[in-house]
Amino acid sequence: MSVVADAPARLEDLCAMARELGTLLDTARIPTDGRAAWVADLEDRVYALSSGLPEGTEDFDARRLWEMLHALRRAADSGSDDEIELAAMMLGDVARRLGRRLLHDELDEPRAAADYVLRTLASVPATDLARLLGVSVKTVGAWRAGRPVTRNTERVVLVAHVITYLRSSLTAAGLLQWFAAPRHQLDDRTPLDLLDGDLAPAREALISLARGARGQLAD
């Protein structure tokens, strides 16, 4: 079945579409037969994703998706396996970058950010979550029950953004430890120390540190 969309979609749906597209472009998933059908399916997915964006095909990353898709189609029509793998890798990189951008856009909303943190750290005790988010255990319980997120919203959003860079390489316990461990990049302070202070400079320092932890220089 073709995956087609004609109207802007919810951010969470677009995030899922971008992640799935990136997964389908892993070089291990490139088929040896039926490549025309594979490319046609990718084209449907690129169309669905790009047309669902608020700016549609005028979005910078949407234009890059189409450019890389055209390169992949040419490689599939006449290129070598190496050319196909390179084109798929490049298209996959754009899809994953777009997925990260969309996730960050979604997490700018405090309710979505709180849900993301609570879901990612579901196994973490409420007392530790309360310390991380700078709220009471009672507030954590209220947020888990779906109550509005109105306290420490800037901190909640920042914690969610930081976690996006770390969650693929750390367990829930590891994430908690990352925030509690002193870092020489922070003058031997912990990320929690920065969260307890001025969040404006803390954001840049913590995002940079989290990116470095996964070897990522930019979105």
Question: pLDDT tens, 6-33?
Answer: 444 577 788 889 989 988 888 778 888 8
Question: pLDDT tens, 78-92?
Answer: 878 899 999 999 999
Q: What is the pLDDT of residue 216?
A: 44
Residues 131, 135, 136, 142, CA torsion sign: negative
Q: What is the pLDDT of residue 9?
A: 55
Q: What is the pLDDT of residue 55?
A: 83
Residue 189 three-state SS: strand
Q: What is the mean pLDDT of the chain?
A: 88
Question: pLDDT tens, 169-180?
Answer: 899 999 999 999
Q: What is the pLDDT of residue 5?
A: 40
Q: How far is CA 135 from CA 75, 127, 147, 158, 213, in A?
A: 54, 9, 14, 14, 26
